[in-house]
Structure 1
């Protein structure tokens, strides 16, 4: 029987598991969002102060799969959860590695770093239907609502879409948000596995649950550029299978903000088609960059006046 992964896993004296240095590939340079290029496009990214188009955050989840499988075996693809706060972007040509430190029988702390020590992401991984609180559960408990929202002024917590049918066959093009197929991804994935002939990798669960985001959009103002700031993918009755029919819905569960962004936290629930049986969930914080919304300053003044900026 073939091993699930050929990835070499380092083991430290403190129980830490480490993966090899990898150079993830950029596959979203042709992404179209609201008819415009996204932050993964070099030219667009440079106008926002980045040196090039960023590699999408969940691409990095694949480097944790061999570590989690080494720790928990096939249970990782049944009730695994990865919960991460993205700290710094990665650009094609840079190398990163995944680190995992057990913090109990069913949870571990994770981080990813660049060669120079820059932290790319930090969070937790866990298994089971009732594990300890994840990194994003703890983070959400401390969120503050956005002050004087402009981009998200029409968005409210509790907004929810209807059900949408989704699937991911090996050769299925995943649309303008994800202009590639699962087969394309598997030719470039950092950690290949024979399992992926049948089951959807964690990083592609993000694609499955987000590629239809513009079909029933929430009423955020735009166009503007957004980036993934926080993301959690949790399997409830996995694995999610290639080519199988599923349905999903999406719900606004939190709103937050910072000096530069307005953030919308969306929980997506994935169901077996025709049932109310949840198979997986995704929590995604998309941070919209205020500077990328052309009408931001004018609309801010109209809504709140100059004093609100002081």
Structure 2
């Protein structure tokens, strides 16, 4: 017997689906990246001007899952896509609300999404969809300016690819230094839980992986074949898209992933590598993709100013 996907209390208006206020949990305090603490560690984050360790961006994807399921049903779990530009960091204890600008009477294949804090600070904005129409990050990529005068990413080139790696997520499998917890531990605190995530009481007769945890699965072995960058330096997720093509993806199933640098960009404070991860099932079929903009903070790289002068002949 198939269970109901979510029991989330959703407010419906003529033009929007609105989820309840939730307090996402921070599970990355012990994350180790390039042999140092990450932006999710309080002390590291505070040195860079944040009030504390930030909650990782894809944690917020779970709050959109009940809205996508309400709007599109089974298709959301099989071909759903969330494409988001992260606008402001969220910290443990803060409440956030997911909004999908959509009408149940029209059921459009793509709609705008937003997330806000109680004080109306915007956490993210983007699109949700179930078909191949241009996403928020498709549009954002077309508007990017190429990275000028790279220091941290000077050895990285567009078109670079990693070798394929086999990944898997078991219910009790610790996901390593980057994600030092298991799926079971995540489900104990996830903002929107579902019986689909831990039992076979769903249309596919197997437990499926929540969309926020697909980010964990796809990054699981990334440290074993890293893309070239200077460090140690601290990075954060600035943009992210997860797209299911032949979903859902299943707990305890093996997949192969490969990563490709598709763009390099920059801002006053960051150097960014845009990496597309392609995910294949055991038959070699492409089942999902992830686009991730990992923005590395210039001031977190101790040698940045010295190396900039050496490379480019003057201070930036």
TM-score bin, normalised by smaller chain: over 0.9
Give the superposition deviation at 1:213: 1.5
TM-score, length basis structure 2:
0.95
TM-score, length basis structure 1:
0.96
Cα distance in 1 for residues equivalent to 2:3 and 2:250: 19
Matched, 1:186 2:194: no
How many residues are aligned here?
304
Matched, 1:120 2:123: yes
Give the superposition deviation at 1:205: 0.3
In the other structure, the counterpart of 1:155 is 156
**Partner SS state of residue 188, structure 2:** helix
Provide runs of 4+ in structure 1 moved above 3 Å.
none
Cα distance in 1 for residues equivalent to 2:148 and 2:163: 29
What root-mean-square deviation, in Å, do the aligned CA atoms of Structure 1 and Structure 2 show?
1.0
Cα distance in 1 for residues equivalent to 2:130 and 2:255: 22
1:226-245 matches, cutoff 5 A: 226-245=235-254
Give the superposition deviation at 1:20: 0.2
Cα distance in 2 for residues equivalent to 1:2 and 1:287: 40
Give the superposition deviation at 1:191: 0.4
In the other structure, the counterpart of 1:206 is 215
Give the superposition deviation at 1:105: 1.7
Q: How far does the alpha carbon of each residue in 1:149-198 deviate from its partner, in whole angstroms, 9 at most, with x for none?
A: 00010100000011100000101110000000000000000001000010
Cα distance in 2 for residues equivalent to 1:45 and 1:256: 23
Cα distance in 2 for residues equivalent to 1:146 and 1:237: 34
Cα distance in 1 for residues equivalent to 2:69 and 2:164: 32
Structure 1: where are the runs of 5+ without partners? none
Cα distance in 1 for residues equivalent to 2:46 and 2:138: 33
In the other structure, the counterpart of 1:55 is 55
Structure 2: where are the runs of 5+ without partners? 199-206
Q: How far does the alpha carbon of each residue in 1:107-148 deviate from its partner, in whole angstroms, 9 at most, with x for none?
A: 0100000000000000000003x3x21000000001111110
Cα distance in 1 for residues equivalent to 2:113 and 2:60: 12
In the other structure, the counterpart of 2:304 is 296
